Amino acid sequence: MSKTITPYQNEQATKKEQVADMFNNISKTYDFLNHFMSLGIDIIWRKKAINELKQDQPKLILDVATGTGDFAFEALSILKPEKIIGVDISRGMLDIAEQKIAKRGLGDKFEVKLGDSEKLPFDADGFDAVTVAYGVRNFENLEMGLADINRVLKPGGKAVVLEFSKPKAFPIKQLYNFYFNYITPGIGKLFSKDSRAYSYLPESVAAFPDGKNFVALMDKVGFKNTKCRPLAFGICSIYTGIK
């Protein structure tokens, strides 16, 4: 990655602090806008990512950048693990996740805590699987974050990362760029108090080292059997690796 893309370019705060502020600002409209702007397709992509763990039957899962918990709730229903722990740097997002956990009576199965993806508050070799959905492009130091995910996995454990990527085929690439650069910020501005958050989205995706570059980073920090599976003509990708 060349330069660091941050939500609020004129601020002196670190990317991490700005990302936390941004998600605190948009937490109340986040779920609605996510499903609305992706036409609900994000739910299908999440299921596909979770199904990567079906054969592994993980008992203890860590969901990094858990946000409001949607990915973890889906993983609970599909994989039936004993427990999922979610970490996120945004207190506002975790407040929404905790409300959902209480409402669904899942306090014994899913807990969330404030935590930094690059200094995960867990011992080494503890989790059967680690998942990250739409979170890695917000890491301040991507390599450090991936290395820490590797650290907390048990030997033989699997990491599954779901993230936006950049489609290359005509006309998907052109349609995608138009939607992401013009429609998304407009919708975000309409429904969210923080319009900058939805301009940051296409910028952060454009700067993200997707495909082979991301797989190379996973290899570099020690993952084995790394794979990239593009979805929807490359709009999104699922990355997997084994410790």
**What are the average pLDDT values for consecutive 10-residue runs of the chain, which has 243 residues?**
67 85 86 76 93 98 97 98 97 96 97 95 98 95 97 98 93 91 83 78 90 98 98 94 98
Domain count, the chain: 1
Q: Using DSSP, state whether 13 is helix, strand or coil.
A: coil
Q: Is residue 176 part of a domain?
A: no
| pLDDT the model gives residue 11 | 66
Sign (positive or negative) of CA dihedral 147, 131, 159, 227: negative
pLDDT at 225: 98
Q: Which domain holds residue 237?
A: 15-165+209-242
Q: Which residues contact 233 (CB under 8 A, 6 or more apart)?
A: 167, 169, 172
148 is in an annotated binding site: no
**pLDDT for res 1:** 39
To the question of whether residue 117 is assigned a binding role by annotation, the answer is yes
Find out whether 116 is annotated in a ligand binding site: yes
Q: Is 231 left (phi over 0), alpha (psi -120 to 50) or beta?
A: beta
Asked whether residue 190 is domain-assigned, the answer is no
Q: Domain for residue 171, yes or no?
A: no
Q: Which two tokens stand for residue 199?
A: 């301009």
- Are the CB atoms for 176 and 4 separated by under 8 Å? no
Q: What is the CATH number of the domain that holds 101?
A: 3.40.50.150
Determine whether the annotation assigns residue 128 to a binding site: no
Q: Is 7 a domain residue?
A: no
102 within a domain of the structure (yes/no): yes
Q: Kindly state the tokens that stand for 43.
A: 């739910």
In a domain, 96, yes or no: yes
The model's pTM is 0.93
| 175 found inside a domain | no
Q: Is residue 187 part of a domain?
A: no
Structure letter (DSSP) for residue 59? S
Please answer whether residues 74 and 130 qualify as being in contact, where contact means their C-beta atoms are separated by less than 8 angstroms. Answer: no
For residue 149, CA distances in Å to 3, 70, 116 come to 23, 20, 11
pLDDT reported for residue 76: 98
